[in-house]
Structure 1
């Protein structure tokens, strides 16, 4: 994994729940099947109110926004691991939020789909969808190139190597915690 993620952002505010991230009607898609994984991604954030605009353009399978900026309690609701998987399948690499629902944060780590960065600042009120940003993993910083400002992020800590490995099972195999498949 590169130590930088650069791209345009999609901005949401507080309490974005798992039904907004991936509505229950799409949970029959099996992420371990490549065609269904891709289709799952095409429905990411389809449950959001219209005021946010389209996360994925009509007819597209992937988003143009590899980074989501959010307020408090991102990923609240159910324990479905389809939520971070759908975002990852859509092309999201990271979410930067004030806070996360604990289960969503854990599912990001377990699946290895995306990096859940936390920020002490309320960036969702300062940023706008479409702005260009870079996340620097070594400096724990988010640079908003559109605004010309740098913001400090909380360290990912021990979850970074787990996500880098592709999730908890891949990490456990790579570190010898569980035997590799023969």
Structure 2
């Protein structure tokens, strides 16, 4: 997993509540176990018509937001099933940070495990960021995880909370496997000791 670094990016506004995981990545795209290649199917049923043509007024199809790295959304983002393909698709599209008043617990946890920063903020602060995002590609929001601060295109700052352990994992690029590998010397020592103590195993 790549280390999460501070960045300034375009924020796409999606002022919908209860965006569930089936909206994020519809069920027909769950056959793969690869994390790459799902970005093209992100929000597929809202992005494309029945013939596979782009729906022009969907936010991520608009020229200003095609390169969005931040998503500003409504309450209860990521509800529904626990499919990990949802953060995979978001990450593969290029979105590094999702901001909403609240998130479904499993989706929230899966974001951190896949290098995405989910930020829960009070509705009035989300409204500020939503209005900023609606200004288009000239309005870039800065995400500073180290200092836990968002900065709007007009310089307004908004602080956010993040669990220290999850923050550490994002900053160091540590997923579950990476965390395990940090303990590799201790694991090797235990296995060597166990093999000597129980050679018959």
TM band (smaller chain): 0.7 to 0.9
Query: How many aligned positions are there?
Result: 170
What is the RMSD of the two structures over their aligned residues, measured on CA atoms? 2.9
Q: TM-score, normalised by structure 1?
A: 0.79
Tell me which residue corresponds to 1:125: 127
Q: Name the CA distance, whole Å, in 1 between partners of 2:98 and 2:186.
A: 29
Tell me which residue corresponds to 2:111: 108
Tell me which residue corresponds to 1:76: 79
Task: Give the conservation status (yes or no) of the 8 Å contact 1:12–1:69.
Answer: yes
Tell me which residue corresponds to 1:16: 19
Tell me: higher relative CO, structure 1 or 2? Use CA pairs within 8 A at least 6 residues apart: 2
* Equivalent residue for 1:165, pick from 146, 154, 173: 173
Q: Secondary structure at the match of 1:72?
A: coil
Q: Secondary structure at the match of 2:164?
A: coil
Q: TM-score, normalised by structure 2?
A: 0.72
Q: Name the CA distance, whole Å, in 2 between partners of 1:178 and 1:82.
A: 33
Q: Name the CA distance, whole Å, in 2 between partners of 1:141 and 1:148.
A: 11
Name the CA shift for 1:178/1:73 in 2 (closer, same or farther; >3 Å).
Answer: farther
Tell me which residue corresponds to 1:7: 9
Which runs of 5 or more structure 2 residues have no equivalent in the other structure? 48-54, 189-201
Tell me which residue corresponds to 2:142: 134
Task: Give the conservation status (yes or no) of the 8 Å contact 2:69–2:95.
Answer: yes
For the pair shown, the structure with the greater C-alpha radius of gyration is 2
Q: Name the CA distance, whole Å, in 1 between partners of 2:41 and 2:124.
A: 27
Q: Secondary structure at the match of 1:78?
A: coil
Structure having the larger proportion of residues in helix: 2
Which runs of 5 or more structure 1 residues have no equivalent in the other structure? none
Task: Give the conservation status (yes or no) of the 8 Å contact 1:165–1:171.
Answer: no
* Alpha-carbon distance, 1:93 to partner: 0.9
Tell me which residue corresponds to 1:26: 29
